[in-house]
Amino acid sequence: MDALVGVVTQSLILGIMVLGVYISYKILDFPDLSVDGSFSLGGAIIAVALKNGLSPTTGFLLAIGGGLIAGLLTGILNVRLKISNLLSGILVMGILYSVNLRIMGKANIALFNTNHIFESGFSPIIISLAIICICKTVLDLFLKTGLGYTLKAVGDNSQMVQSLGIEVGKIKILGLMISNGLVSFSGSIMAQYQGFSDVSMGIGTLVLGIACIIIGESFISKIIKTKETSIIILGTILYQLVIYIALNAGLTATDLKLITSFIIILFLSIGEFKNPISKQKISILRRREYAKN
């Protein structure tokens, strides 16, 4: 039972990261590999902050700020320097690896003897649930604003938005900043939960986020009709449960990449079989939603 509680707690923490990937990958149609570095960046910043006697709140703000800067850099490379989406993310991911090492001074920092949020006396699952509910609520409210609808429209049809006199580049940079800020925030929480920060803890973040989004949209959405943000959080929990079951069935941690690929293929197949909705139809619906607002 304790193991399952731990899996759900970890899923809720990673759910914040998936919300960030959702903004870049799903809304902006931007597969941003820099999130792999941003997740580790959040862990690095919070570890150094706590080791230097700063409060977890201050550490969180610094971690989010670091993520915002990482997203800004990715956006500038793509929008201003005209570097492709994929290459922009790869370049920033490489930059952040060195930056994270420079921040921590070494590859790993233990946090077992520091004062962090999971030593506040409350259950870790309650703390994680409260944080992700706040993040989800704020994101939902933002996406209902005019700026939020514009962000969605840029991902669906940037030419249409540009024809309305809106500077698409700035909107895209803003989306990438929010995305990386959430991912970095998630990394800072995960570092405290697992008791250490590691320079490689963010490897596979984008793939994990995409897997959770696919599971949510191809399977959970067919069972429960609710907001997309809720669906992908439930998808994250389901993904982590499947991984937990697979590991307990005899597979090892070295098989995680294989399991992840199999899960993505499986749920993509289920989604296409049950309800094949083309991206073009989704784009049309979003344009109508944007036009109303």
- Evaluate if residue 10 carries a pLDDT over 90: yes
pTM here?
0.90
| The predicted structure's pLDDT at residue 237 | 95
Output the CA torsion 22→231→240→61 (10° steps): 50
Between vectors from CA 128 to CA 215 and to CA 126, what angle results, nearest 5°?
Answer: 120
**Intra-chain end-to-end CA distance of the chain, in Å:** 47
Per the CB < 8 A criterion, the answer to whether 22 and 259 are in contact is no
Query: Which residues, 6 or more positions from 67, have their beta carbon under 8 angstroms from its beta carbon?
Result: 38, 41, 42, 177, 180, 181, 182, 183, 184, 185
Q: Which residue has the higher pLDDT, 223 or 81?
A: 81
Q: What is the mean pLDDT of residues 172-191?
A: 97
| 31-86 pLDDT, tens digit each | 999 999 999 999 999 999 999 999 999 999 999 999 999 999 999 999 999 999 99
| 116-140 pLDDT, tens digit each | 899 878 899 999 999 999 999 999 9
Q: Tell me how crowded residue 150 is: count the other CB atoms within 10 A of its CB.
A: 18
- The residue segments making up the domain with residue 156 are 2-292
DSSP letter string, 77-93:
IIIIS---HHHHHHHHH
Output the CA torsion 31→269→257→38 (10° steps): 20
Average of per-residue pLDDT values in the chain: 89
* pLDDT band of 282, cuts 50, 70, 90: low
Helix (H) or strand (E) holding 109: strand 108-110
Say what percent of the chain tops pLDDT 90.
68
Helix (H) or strand (E) holding 197: strand 196-198
| The predicted structure's pLDDT at residue 287 | 58
Domain CATH number, residue 13: 1.10.3470
Alpha-carbon span 170 to 149, nearest angstrom: 14
Per the CB < 8 A criterion, the answer to whether 49 and 107 are in contact is no
Of 74, 263, 291, 39, residue with least CA distance to 161? 291
| 157-166 pLDDT, tens digit each | 888 888 888 8
* Tally of domains in the chain: 1
The token pair at 179 is 């995305």
| The predicted structure's pLDDT at residue 278 | 46
3-state secondary structure of 278: coil
* pLDDT band of 273, cuts 50, 70, 90: low
| The predicted structure's pLDDT at residue 260 | 79
